[in-house]
Amino acid sequence: MSSDTSDGESTPPIPSRKGSSTSSTDKKKEKARVSRTSMILWHAHQNDIGAVRKLLEEDGSLVHARDYDNRTPLHVASLHGWIDVAKCLLENGADVNAQDRWKNTPLADAEGAKKHNMIELLKSYGGLSYGQSGSHLEPKPVLPPLPNKCDWEIDPSELDFSSSNIIGKGSFGEILKASWRGTPVAVKRILPSLSDDKLVIQDFRHEVKVLVKLRHPNVVQFLGAVTDKKPLMLITEYLRGGDLHQHLKEKGSLSASTAINFALDIARGMAYLHNEPNVIIHRDLKPRQVNFYFGFAVQVVLNVLLVNTSAEHLKVGDFGLSKLIKVQHCHDVYKMTGETGSYRYMAPEVFKHRKYDKKVDVFSFAMILYEMLEGDPPFSNYEPYEAAKYAAAGHRPPFRSKSYLPELRDLTEKCWAADMNQRPSFLDILKRLEKI
């Protein structure tokens, strides 16, 4: 069972006027602002003090950047205990008592995560556990919502389907564009006939459990769910750009620069998901609209989605087949369901029902990078199952595109290596793409 959309910052499109140079300039400024906002949140998460300082030197207002949950770079640094990043943000005017969606301040996050040095630092700058409004003061810190909390429960009467249209449909449900409190959203709705099916309900709750933990500019943004009433529904942001598969179908192969930018977006989202100790293995990373779920073909909104119609950014979504793993050791290997995911992008070890780890997502990423540069899916002359079988036998699709720079070709070959231990991590992939 799968859905698609993403987490991060999204902004309403700027109205364009045909022939207006001002509109074009505004769009470029808006694109740059959204990109910088995503970057400062990412670098704060990665404890990259140099990158954070450089961004603030270029644009001081980024110290007040917010994601969908109203979380600032200081919230991110405080939760992880990154002292130097927090000091830099505070010295540049960060609001020490900024409140996120759950009314938590950076100090509340630091207290909840037991980051004692961070707690002292924030208090020295006047940090409060809940912010400056007395109505939010509590006797003890409140951690971000857990899956069994209901502050993300949405009243179905707030969803407006009057002008909705079906984005995807399958054996277990459908995904519709709807409106929630005036905002366009994507709603994954379980079919009424399956609302009492224990397996369907279990998978639905699993996807909610995964999504509620995620906050990243390149990951689908979870907004809420309907779990108390039927039909069960999962609500995420609506990305008006559609999916990468459709974009490639209409535009053909991408230039090297565009493919690299898209690959960076995917890799950033995946690096976040693979962050230890709570690793989320996607297991179905692909750019297409057909998602195989236990033998049933299900039409969904794709795993890799365009933020808007100008095709500037990608986000990773669709966590119906994902696996949340608590990692004890960095080289842990897990025994999980064989042949889980989509055949054309499936790693050989999954097809062969062998033990595998998060590097299965790296193999799928290589296939997506190949498709972006070549304009055709890998092994397009094979049916999906036969393509997976052919890849499992050691074959790889041929390089034909002139956009395939030697560095990109080398990276692709490393990512689809037969030995999963030889594949790079997404953090390594990011470093290589940024150099290119």
Q: Which of 109, 203, 284, 318 is catalytic?
A: 284
Q: Can you state the angle between helices 426-435 and 256-273, rounded to 10 degrees?
A: 150
CB 320 within 8 A of CB 203: yes
- Please write down the HEC assignment for all residues of the chain: CCCCCCECCCCCCCCCCCCCHHHHHHHHHHHHHHHHHHHHHHHHHCCCHHHHHHHHHHCHHHHHCCCCCCCCHHHHHHHHCCHHHHHHHHHCCCCCCCCCCCCCCHHHHHHHCCCHHHHHHHHHCCCCCCCCCHHHCCCCCCCCCCCCCCCCECCHHHEEEEEEEEEEECCCEEEEEEEECCEEEEEEEECHHHCCCHHHHHHHHHHHHHHCCCCCCCECCEEEEECCCCCCEEEEECCCCCEHHHHHHHHCCCCHHHHHHHHHHHHHHHHHHCCCCEEEECCCCCCCCEEEECCEEEECCCCEEECCCCCCCEEECCCCCCEEEECCCCCCCECCCCCCCCHHHCCHHHHCCCCECCHHHHHHHHHHHHHHHHCCCCCCCCCHHHHHHHHHCCCCCCCCCCCCCHHHHHHHHHHCCCCHHHCCCHHHHHHHHHHC
Tokens for 323, please give them. 């696996």
Q: Are strands 183-190 and 173-180 parallel, antiparallel or unpaired?
A: antiparallel
Rounded distance between C-alpha atoms, residue 101 and residue 166, angstroms: 29
Q: What is the dihedral of CA 285, 287, 288, 289, to 10 degrees?
A: 80
Sheet holding 222-226, edge to edge: 159-169, 173-180, 183-190, 233-237, 222-226
| Number of Cβ atoms within 10 Å of the Cβ of 322 | 22
Active site residue 228: no
Whether residue 188 is annotated as binding a ligand: the answer is yes
CB 425 within 8 A of CB 416: no
- List, as residue ranges, the binding site for ATP: 188
Q: Which residues are catalytic?
A: 284
- List, as residue ranges, the binding site: 188
